[in-house]
Amino acid sequence: MPIFEHPPLDSLAPAKDRWTPIYLEHGRLEIDDAAVKWIGSDGLITRLPVATISALILGPGTSITHAAVKSAAQCNCPLFWLGEDGLRFYAFGITPNHDNSMARTHASAWANKKSQNEIARRMFLHRFPEAAVHGVNIKQLRGMEGKRVKQTYAELGLKYGVTWKGRDYKADNWQIADSINRALSASNASLYALTAAVCCSMGFIPQLGFVHVAGTLPFIYDAADLYKHETSWPAAFEALSIDPKDDGALVRKLLKQKVEETRMLRRMPEDLKKLFEGLGENPEDAPLEHPLQPRSEA
């Protein structure tokens, strides 16, 4: 079988049915007999079924051949690069998708102020369904969210017995942050990579955010925020409660468990599509309230 004879995109597993991402560091990805294989620094070889993996996350000390990149792309398996201890989300490789209908829907909603506010409200209601958000604009939502996030952090600190002094870190100097802030950064970076894998495979535009506007991936941050409270945040606090000196390995392991327990990968594609339901071709005609109901799988 020729190396690059992969099935067409419409026959590949959709994002919701794929395995959780695989994190790799200190090794090499290459092609061998039509399969992508991982050669670890210990010399062990593992074949990777990229057609059924939601994403390959590459950490420090990794290299990848052109053939392996091409094979992953043809199987619609995104590639992501994280920094040391998972504290930096450097880049991702865009993968093909079926058409541009989702991108056009996304851009149309983003370009209209009324639909921007509506989608931001739906995102907020996904996490806080009891909130009164009718007529609330994005700036006000950010303030409401900030108070609730601080409360959630404090509650997680008490639950897991981890000292919490507040979210404090500097992107240009990760080392000065305390252990829990480093753990949160590592956990969130991995969640961003997973979220980007789903968003890009569906055709969303990472640069067009509704609540977030800064940075290189505002929509990825928006989408990841829908699930942080049940995945990356508790994973970070739980990891520190078990091992205060965790280097990130336990955080990522617990994040993977929580992603599986909450069935996030199965929920995210439908949740994201529902954010845009009812906006139609003319966002001016969209209803002002159409909350995205949170699921019960968690």
| CATH code of the domain covering residue 47 | 3.100.10.20
Which of the two residues, 32 and 298, has the higher pLDDT score?
Answer: 32
For residue 54, which of 257, 200, 205 has the smallest C-alpha distance? 200
Domain boundary among 73, 93, 113: 93
- Please report which confidence band the pLDDT of residue 10 belongs to, taking 50, 70 and 90 as the band edges: low
Same domain, 181 and 209: yes
Which of the two residues, 262 and 73, has the higher pLDDT score?
Answer: 262
Query: CA–CA separation, 132 vs 113, rounded Å?
Result: 20
Same domain, 53 and 140: no
Q: Is residue 21 included in any domain, yes or no?
A: yes
Which of the two residues, 172 and 240, has the higher pLDDT score?
Answer: 240
Same domain, 67 and 111: no
pLDDT at residue 291 tops 50? no
In the block, which residue shows the tokens 């992107």?
171
* Rg (the chain; Cα; Å): 20
Domains: count for the chain? 2
Strands (E), 213-298: none
Q: Are 120 and 288 in contact (CB under 8 A)?
A: no
- Please report which confidence band the pLDDT of residue 96 belongs to, taking 50, 70 and 90 as the band edges: low
Read off the amino acid at residue 52: T
Q: For residue 205, give the CATH number of its domain.
A: 1.20.120.920
- Please report which confidence band the pLDDT of residue 19 belongs to, taking 50, 70 and 90 as the band edges: low
Same domain, 248 and 113: yes
Q: Is residue 40 included in any domain, yes or no?
A: yes
pLDDT at residue 134 tops 90? no
Q: Is residue 3 included in any domain, yes or no?
A: no
Q: Is residue 293 included in any domain, yes or no?
A: no
- One DSSP character per residue, 240-252 reads HHH-TT--SHHHH
Same domain, 88 and 115: no
* Amino acid 11: pLDDT: 54
pLDDT at residue 8 tops 70? no
Same domain, 25 and 142: no
- Please report which confidence band the pLDDT of residue 221 belongs to, taking 50, 70 and 90 as the band edges: very high
Which range is least confidently modeled, 94-103, 110-119, 120-129, 205-214? 94-103
Supply 211's token pair: 């609540």
Query: CA–CA separation, 220 vs 225, rounded Å?
Result: 8
Same domain, 75 and 121: no
* Amino acid 199: pLDDT: 87
pLDDT at residue 287 tops 60? no
- pTM value is 0.71
Q: Is residue 294 included in any domain, yes or no?
A: no
Q: Is residue 70 included in any domain, yes or no?
A: yes
Same domain, 67 and 153: no
Mean pLDDT, rounded, for 276-290: 56
* Amino acid 81: pLDDT: 86
pLDDT at residue 101 tops 80? yes
Mean pLDDT, rounded, for 91-100: 67
Q: Is residue 159 included in any domain, yes or no?
A: yes
Q: Which residues of 110-135 are buried (b: 16+ CB within 10 A; e: fewer)?
A: bebeebbbbbbbbbbbbbeeebebee
The mean predicted confidence, pLDDT, of the chain is 82
For residue 262, which of 219, 282, 232, 285 has the smallest C-alpha distance? 232
Q: What is the pLDDT of residues 175-204, one digit of tens each?
A: 556 889 889 988 998 898 888 878 887 889
Which of the two residues, 84 and 248, has the higher pLDDT score?
Answer: 248
* Amino acid 136: pLDDT: 84
Same domain, 26 and 155: no
Which of the two residues, 203 and 64, has the higher pLDDT score?
Answer: 64
* Amino acid 273: pLDDT: 92
Strands (E), 84-174: 89-93
Tell me the CA end-to-end span of the chain in Å, nearest whole number: 42
Q: Is residue 2 included in any domain, yes or no?
A: no
Q: Write out the residue range of the structural domain in which residue 126 sits.
A: 101-285
Same domain, 197 and 86: no
pLDDT at residue 285 tops 70? no
pLDDT at residue 279 tops 80? no
For residue 118, which of 140, 130, 106, 133 has the smallest C-alpha distance? 133
